[in-house]
Amino acid sequence: MDRRQFLLAGAALTPLLLPAQGTSAPAGAAPAPFFLPPSPPLDHRGDMDIRVLVRQADTGGIYSCVETAVAPRRMGPAPHAHQDLDELMYVLEGTASVLMGEEVLEVPAGGWHLRPRRIKHTFFNASDHPLRFIDMYFQQPFEDYLEQIFHRLTPANGYPEGSEKRREEILRLTAQFGIIRFPEGQQQREALKARYGLG
């Protein structure tokens, strides 16, 4: 990336660094410098998994990011939207299929994709190869939501799949993080699975 491209990219990201309406970055001192050493690629474990790389608490509420690994031929969440969250994806390995509205876009390794707030979207891996990407969050600590869903609300922690206890906790988190669910979302998810042969 040359200097002109870098400056243009920085200008494009400037609106994402502003707090969402009704929210504000935590008050306090500026974030301290930190270094993240290289780590082995995240394993999808036959399905999908996430690993938090940078927390908003480490950046004064400005930014956070999560690595996501998706097994081949694996569907993501039901189509949804976010009230106040913009998500920026950078694909590390494989090809991400991203539904935006009613259009599916293929994002190959090295590609970027912005999912702005209040637009219905989801992602999936329609290929026969693993998918890894980094999702970046700018208005809220969405990494906290993902850690709850992937690593806390598990059968081993007393939240069996399909249980009322798990459903109620997910509904609470959905409201807390401003996730917009659509009545047709699950049906659309099943249609994408059938269309692309996903599990």
Angle at 51 between CA 48 and CA 53, to 5 degrees: 150
> Is the separation of the CB atoms in 80 and 182 below 8 Å?
yes
Domains in the chain: boundaries:
38-196
Confidence of residue 29 (pLDDT cuts 50, 70, 90): low
Confidence of residue 31 (pLDDT cuts 50, 70, 90): confident
Q: Report phi then psi at 10, rounded to 5.
A: -65, -40
> Is the separation of the CB atoms in 83 and 177 below 8 Å?
no
| Residue 126: predicted pLDDT | 98
Q: What is the identity of the amino acid at 197?
A: G
SS3 (DSSP) at 123: strand
Q: How many CA atoms lie within 13 A of 26 on its CB side?
A: 15
Name which of 18-27, 50-59, 76-85, 150-159 the model is least confident about.
Answer: 18-27
Cα 194 to chain centroid distance, Å, stands at: 23
Confidence of residue 12 (pLDDT cuts 50, 70, 90): very low
Quote the longest CA-to-CA distance of the chain: 53
Inform me whether the pLDDT recorded for 16 exceeds 80: no
* Average pLDDT of span 10-22: 42
Pick the CATH number of 38-196 from 2.60.120.10, 3.30.200.20, 3.20.20.450, 3.30.390.30: 2.60.120.10
| Residue 18: predicted pLDDT | 41
> Is the separation of the CB atoms in 95 and 73 below 8 Å?
no
